[in-house]
Amino acid sequence: MNGRHLPNLLTGLRLVLAPLLPWLLVNDRAEAALGVAAVAGLSDALDGWLAKRFGWGSRLGSLLDPIADKLMLGLAMLGLWLVAALPGWFLLLVALRDLVIVAGAIAWWRLAGPYDGRPTLLGKLTTFAQVLLVLACLLGRVGWLPWDDVAGPAILAVAFLTFASGLDYVIRYGVLAWRHTRKPAA
């Protein structure tokens, strides 16, 4: 095997592991779910490092990596909702934000051309906060963190970031689309 395929294989591992998270949580295997999340996080860091360090990035990897990340995070949140560690309204907010971003990207692509899918700083901060929230929930499920004491305020803080990030994308790309359609004729 050529080493340049290793980042894509690690991304594929995350795609395979993602459905295990909700299953493990529902079957009261929080320690195993935490282990899967740890392996996923390490493989994500490693595949990114390998792609950058050795120039092993690929078009396939650039498409699959964010899908694997969203799938892992989304299914982790779903599993945590199924065991009542996250409220349903929070999952709905996260899903709606992602749906709005995807719908906006598709609309942009159809109306204005190629979409620059780079996340904003607020978008990156939101994803980081969501990952930390999932990690805190998992650590609370295994008893390594007194999660019940801080769950409410933490969920509200991440919900606020999630909402603000979605609004930021709508405003940012809405203004760009408006400017794009208002260009004077040459």
pLDDT of residue 160: 98
Choice among 86-90, 111-115, 150-154, 170-174 with the minimum mean pLDDT: 111-115
Please name which of 151, 31, 176 lies closest in space to residue 81, comparing C-alpha atoms. Answer: 151
66 shares its domain with 92: no
- Inform me whether the pLDDT recorded for 186 exceeds 60: no
- Whether the Cβ atoms of residue 10 and residue 43 lie closer than 8 Å to each other: yes
Band (pLDDT 50/70/90 cuts) for residue 58 is: confident
Same domain, 9 and 92: no
Residues 92 and 77 in one domain: no
Model confidence pLDDT, tens digit, residues 16-39: 999 999 999 999 999 999 999 999
Q: Tell me, yes or no, whether 76 and 125 share the same domain.
A: no
78 contacts 22 by C-beta, under 8 angstroms: yes
Counting the structural domains of the chain, the total is 2
CA distance 146 to 81: 18
Q: Residue 185 pLDDT more than 60?
A: no
Domain that holds residue 109: 85-186
Asked whether the beta carbons of 13 and 70 are under 8 A apart, the reply is no
Same domain flag for 90 and 147: yes
